[in-house]
Amino acid sequence: MIHGSELAVFIALFLLVTVIGFLAARWRRGDLTLLSEWGLGGRRFGSVVTWFLLGGDLYTAYTFVAVPALVFAKGAIGLFALPYTIIVYPIVYVVMPKLWQAARNLGHITPADYVRDRFNSPFLALLIAITGIVATMPYIALQIFGIQVVIAQMGVNVEISLIVAFVVLALYTYVSGLRAPALIALVKDALIWITVIVAVVYIPTKLGGFGAIFHSSETAVHALKSKATDNLPSTLYLAYSTLAFGSALALFLYPHAITGTFAARSQATVRRNAAFLPAYSFMLGLIALLGYMAVAAKTHTPPASGGGTNGIVPALLEQMFAGPLAGFMFAAIAIGALVPAAVMSIAAANLFTRNVWRQYLRRGGDSPAREAAVSKVASLVVKLGALVFILTVNTSEVINFQLAGGVWILQTLPAVILALYVRWLDRWAVVAGWAVGVGLGTYWGVTNPAGLFSSTYNLNVFGWHVGSVYPGLAAFVANLVVVLAGSAVSVAVRRGMPVNGIAERDYLPAPVGG
């Protein structure tokens, strides 16, 4: 049954952000036939815009529905998202300003551009680009999935609605580039903050307060899932900590996170955002509480949602709020998917254009306008691929692919981050480490008894039982050993430093007036 008042509010807000998306082309005018303008907003975003853009980019619609769903289904293990989004920002504060400066000085658009120049290796850059594209595609699909569970809750045709949402997203991204999600992020974040604050204040009053919610969940969570626990058992300490730490290392390796960072105006802008983005982690903690509220409210997802427990947040909101307010909250979730989906598609398109098309398919080079045009078309193809993916592949499989993407993107850390500080890394050692990390991570993912690419793996090394760990981090440790050992051997054999295409001065700001 179609819920008319919910749908009316939803459509009105969706139309609002659509108009904003198209008008964004006129905001901070630049030549959108240049890739640096279309794909990075001219690198002119200040602290406020960057804060909203990165917040909207990293704290996605899928985060909004998946974190409380995991808490609802499995209890305390679902709270791993809180420490990992706290751990990541000190790392960002130290690392990202240096990467940003090299990108600004050398005209890099993608992380693979940096890798190409740093190691003088188009092949290694190609590996990093392909890894980024493959890891990003299912992430975009999950944003579309976030819209899907909301649309299903309102009782409208899911396939037609998703196609309409895709067309709108594709058009304003094509026209406005990164400016569109940057401007929409301001509206998205306002809607999300209002939704979260209203929900965590009002819902407990309907359920007898937080004390009653936690008391109810103490027994109810166990009834829902036999492996669910309110308190994390000692057997999961290692799994919880490695999952949180590995996720923190991987987060800013994703192309969309680096794209949002490269669009910042200055190193100071990047540092300020690393200092203030933890405010979103506070919001994430509030969002996680919705999982316990759904347990206490005995919420059930409708069969039409197709999302299983991932549809629990929309179901809870409709259960607790009147039609128009529920429509407002559903729009907040759906719009929360548009921002990251746009940035992700732009980031993946930039990787294809700069590190596949330009380097291998058009070796003679392209004009700047042609390069931007290719990236615009590629962004459409990426979004279309994600839409087809979510409409044809079982939802649980999409989530598995996204988990696999996290394992794979972590293996790019030596080439993108470690290379900023360790100048004696050898490119072939980095290639070998990448292959080992991706190979082991994939093997552990497909052979995991807990499920395809489950977030934890019961690891044994040469007969020694390590414990339940995040397979991405375990694969990264093997990757790192190969990279460091191989590079050390290379230095010893050659009796000299490996190829390094970036000088120390390229990491420094240009002199004032220079």
**What is the structure's pLDDT at 398?**
66
499, part of any domain: no
Band of the pLDDT at 159, cuts 50, 70, 90? confident
267, part of any domain: yes
Residue 465 phi, psi (nearest 5):
-80, 110
Residue 472 pLDDT exceeds 60: yes
- Contact in structure between 503 and 477 (CB atoms under 8 Å): no
Band of the pLDDT at 163, cuts 50, 70, 90? confident
Band of the pLDDT at 514, cuts 50, 70, 90? very low
For residues 155 and 117, the model is more confident at 117
- Contact in structure between 386 and 141 (CB atoms under 8 Å): yes
DSSP state of 425: -
Instruction: Give the pLDDT confidence of 20-48 residue by residue, as tens digits.
Output: 999 998 887 788 889 999 999 999 999 99
**What is the structure's pLDDT at 221?**
58
Containing domain of residue 67, as a range?
Answer: 4-399
507, part of any domain: no
Residue 305 pLDDT exceeds 60: no
Q: What percent of the chain has pLDDT over 90?
A: 49
39, part of any domain: yes
483, part of any domain: no
Q: What percent of the chain has pLDDT over 70?
A: 94
Instruction: Give the pLDDT confidence of 361-413 residue by residue, as tens digits.
Output: 876 667 788 889 999 999 999 989 888 888 887 766 667 777 888 999 999 99
350, part of any domain: yes
**What is the structure's pLDDT at 230?**
60
Residue 206 pLDDT exceeds 60: yes
d(CA 278, CA 283): 9
Report the CATH number at residue 165: 1.20.1730.10
Average pLDDT for residues 100-127, to the nearest whole number?
Answer: 96
340, part of any domain: yes
Residue 94 pLDDT exceeds 80: yes
- Contact in structure between 413 and 135 (CB atoms under 8 Å): no
Distance of CA 190 to the CA centre of its chain: 20
SS (H, E, C) 431-442: HHHHHHHHHHHH
**What is the structure's pLDDT at 367?**
79
Domains contained in the chain, number: 1
d(CA 149, CA 68): 14
341, part of any domain: yes
Task: Give the closest residue to 77 by CA, choosing from 247, 206, 243, 269.
Answer: 243
